[in-house]
Amino acid sequence: MPAMKVLTEPEYLYVIAAVAGSATWVLLNRRPLAGDTAIALYILLVGSLYTALRYSAPFHARAFSTAVGLSITYTLSAGLATSGYRLSPWHPLADVPGPRLWHITSLWLSWVSWKGRRYLILDRLHAKYGPYLRIGPDTISINSLSAQYIYSASAHMPKSESYRAPGHKKQVALFFKQPNEKLHSDRKRVWQGLFTKDGISQLFPVLEKRTYDLIQCMERRQSLDATGCIDLTECFYHWAYDLMGDMVFGGASKLEMMQHGDPSNLVTGGKIATAIVDSIGQTPWLMDLV
């Protein structure tokens, strides 16, 4: 009978690191941590590990390399356990088709969103996999008219984590996910009157005025350009901001971009902010690092 191999002390530590990585997945799968909290704890763990090895006689001379090796083993173990579960038949979304790599992490979705190609890629993937498409570990894209129910008032379905305010900001933001359904309902009650037939009809005078301002803006900018050309996209951006300013702030709005331009680069800043939130928001733990 062959003799059983006895693990040496360094090998024993690597086994513990691997088991700890798998145990971390079990814990985080049930009680997720915020991204910044997880990274802070990871850095604290690595630092504490190095300090302990540094003052341990057997590892004093190779404390750094051992700490790095154990950290890599721990990280790989946690990553493999997480990936294995998300690809396994035991995951709740295992039966929903989609690219296998997208099942593991939502970073792919964040990347294609940042590149501005999400609608093209999702359309191509739906053509390949069908109306129900798994595009993240816990995310499904639905390409079906029946999905309209999700957005109906009777569904009472919360927004996804991509609508969560960045970081740990406690303010109640207008377009971000509210902390609870009551607060959402209270804020919705203030706005919902505007989106009724009568509410929209009250905006017609404002819309007509701003559309007249748009025509004047285009004519004025054309007369000031030596070639007689204007940037229509910019004109419509400024029209939209002025109209939204009137809708939200009424007579208190001082934007007047069609008249004065955009010296504060609000349009550019808004586009960049929207792109960042829309892309990073697809990977919720990244939002905690913003």
Q: How confident is the model over 182-230, as pLDDT tens digits?
A: 777 777 777 777 777 887 888 888 889 999 999 999 999 999 888 889 8
**In a shared domain, residues 14 and 109:** no
**In a shared domain, residues 36 and 56:** yes
Whether 4 maps to a domain, the answer reads no
**In a shared domain, residues 247 and 165:** yes
Measured in Å, how far apart are the chain's first and last C-alpha atoms? 59
Mean local confidence (pLDDT), 78-107: 92
Q: What is the pTM of this model?
A: 0.74
pLDDT surpassing 50 at residue 136: yes
| Model pLDDT, residue 173 | 60
| Model pLDDT, residue 129 | 94
CA distance 174 to 151: 18
DSSP 252-281: G----HHHH--TT-HHHHHHHHHHHHHHHT
Whether 239 maps to a domain, the answer reads yes
Q: Which domain holds residue 153?
A: 91-157
pLDDT surpassing 50 at residue 120: yes
Query: In terms of Cα–Cα distance, which of 86, 106, 121, 88 is closest to 35?
Result: 106
Whether 45 maps to a domain, the answer reads yes
DSSP code for 36: H
CA distance 81 to 21: 8
% the chain with pLDDT above 90: 26
| Model pLDDT, residue 6 | 41
**In a shared domain, residues 83 and 101:** no
Domain end call among 157, 182, 210: 157
- When divided into structural domains, the chain yields a total of 3
**In a shared domain, residues 34 and 128:** no
Domain end call among 121, 139, 157: 157
**In a shared domain, residues 190 and 123:** no
**In a shared domain, residues 284 and 177:** yes
